[in-house]
Structure 1
Amino acid sequence: MSGEFSLIDKYFAHKQQNRKDVILAQGDDCAIVAPTAGSHIAISTDTLVAGTHFLADANPAQIAHKALASNISDLVAMGASPAWVSMGISLPEINTAWLERFSNAFFKLADYYGIQLIGGDTTKGPLTITLTVQGTLPEGKALTRHGAQSGDWVYVTGQLGDAKAGLDVILENNISADTSLNQELQRRHFEATPRVLAGIALRDIASAAIDISDGLVADLGHILKRSKVGARLNVAALPTSKELLQFVGSRALAQQYALTSGEEYELCFTVPEANRGQLEVALSNTPFTCIGQLTGTEYIELHNDDAPVDWQLDGFDHFKGNQ
C-alpha cells in the first residue's frame, strides 16, 4: 500500500506506553516480550471481515471495539490476563477519517485492559482486520473445555440475546418503532464487555469455560463434546434484558434469542458443586446466572422449569448467519 509506513506511524505506532514486559515493540521485524517466570502464554487469532462480521459502512469506532473485545474474550475464556496484540489490517483505500476513529477507539479499549499493540501489517485489499492476542496465566491454571463433569452446574455471565437483536436492527430484519431501543441494541451488538476479571477469578473455581461467540447452544456444545457430558438447561433461568423482551415481544422468543445469539462474548462456564459457594465472592462485580446442570447424556435437554421444551436450535455460523 502506498504510504504504508507513514500510515502505521500516524495511526498505530507510539500510541501507548510500553508494558514492562515488552522489550521491543513496533519498528523491527519482530516484537520481543519477556513473560514472567512461572507463566504460560495463551494465544488466539481471529479475523473480522467486512460483509461477514460487520457492514462496510459501520461506525469504525464500533468495528475497532468489536474486533479487540472479541479477541480479548478468547483470552478471558482461558483465564488469561490480556498482554499483547498484533494487528493485520487491509483497506480498500487510505481513509484518514476512518482510520482516526478506528485507531482512537482501538487504543481506548486496549489501554483500558492493559493490552499493548506490539506489531502487525497493513496492506491494500478488502476491509479485513486480523488480530493475534496473547495473554499470560500461571502454569497449570488454564481454563479449558474438557474439564467438565456430570453433576457440575452451568453458568453464564451477563445477559444474552441482545447481540442478535442488534444484528436484526443492523440488517433491518426487525426494527422497533422505538428509535432509541434500536440504537441501544445496535450498540450492544458492537460494544461487548470482555469479562476479564471474571475469567481470572474462575481459574480455581470453574471446571470448564468458553466465551459465547457462536451462540450458547453451539458454544456449550463444544464443552459437552470435549468433556463427554450432556446438559439440562432451564430456559426460564436464561438472563435476558428488558430491552430484548420489548424488542421481540414474547418471553419465549427472547429465550430463543438467548440460546442462539452469536457474538455475545459473555462467558459460559461449569462449576462443581463443591465450588459453588465461592462464586458470590469471586464474581462480586460480575453478573452471573445458573442456567442448568451437566448430565451424562451427551446432548442438551431444554426445559421450562420442569416442562420439556422442543425447540430445534442451532448457533451462529458466519457463513450462514443465525439459524
Structure 2
Amino acid sequence: MNKPSSRKKIGVVGIPGKWSTEVLADRLEAQTGFRAVIDMKDVELRLDTNQVIWKGLDLATLDGLIVKKISEVYAPSTEDRIHLLSHLESLGVKVFSPTKSMGRLINRLSGTLALQQGGIPMPKTRVTESAELAFATVREYGSAILKPLYSTKARGMLILGKGDSDEEVQAKLAEYRQHNTIFYIQEALDLKGRDLGMVFLGGEYLCTYARVAGGDAWNTTINSGGRYEKHDADGQLIELGRRAQACYDMSFTTVDIALTDQGPVVFEVSAFGGFKGALDGCGVDAAAAYSDYALAQVGEGK
C-alpha cells in the first residue's frame, strides 16, 4: 500500500454515509492520510473567537474544503450554511466550489438568470407570483412543469399536461402554492425519455453520460428509476456545456442538457455535480479526479 503523498488537510462537507461523500473522502484520505466528513448541522460559528468549529476541530486550520453536498434537500436555510462557509473563505480556507458560485445555484431562479444573461438556450420559462398569470402560462404552453426554487432530483416538481382540465390545472397550481411563493413554470419538452449530464472539472470537460427514464416516469432521474449510459458528445454540444458552466465559477459541476427537435437546451448547472453518472455512465472516477484537482489547487498535488 502506498503511503499518503501529501500532508495537506482537505475536509469534505457532505452527508455522512452517502456514497458520493464517502468515496470523495476515501480518495482524499488515500493521498493525504487525513479524513473529515463534515455535516453542516454540527458546525458552530464562534464570532467571539472568529472560529468555525466542527467536533472540536477549527476548520480554519484546514487547507481546503470540498463541498460535495451541503444539505439533504435545498431550502433557504441552505444559503445560511453557505454563509458560514464564506466566512471560512475569508479566513483563508480554499473552498471548492467558491461559495459565491454555489450560492447562485442553490436557488433555481438565480441560477436560471445567470444562464439567461449568458445567452444559453433554455426551455421557455416564466416566473410569477400571480396564480392567474401562472394558469394562463400553463394553458399557453400546453404541457408545463412547475419547479420549486429550492429542489434537487425533481423533488416537488409537478407536471401539467394538455389533457388536464382547467379545474385540474388550478388544483395543481394550488397544491404547488402551498409550499412555494413563486410559480416557476417551464415548458415541458419531449425528451424522448433521455437527457444528458455533462461533467466539468475546473472548467475542463471530463465526459458526458445519458440519463434514461425508467418505465413511465416523466423525468429521467435515478430516483424515479432512470439509469446511466455513456454518450459521445460532439464538439458543438461540449462547447454549449462549456459556455453554460462558464456562467459560474465552479470547481466541479454537471450541466443538464436535453436534445430536442428544436436543438439542445440547458436545464440547469449543478451546484455540486455528481460522481455516480460519470462512473456508471462513462467509467470515469470523478471523485479521484476532483481529489487531485483540489490538492493541486492548495499547492500539493500530483
Smaller-chain TM-score bracket: under 0.3
TM-score scaled by structure 2? 0.26
Structure with larger RCO (C-alpha < 8 A, sep 6+): 1
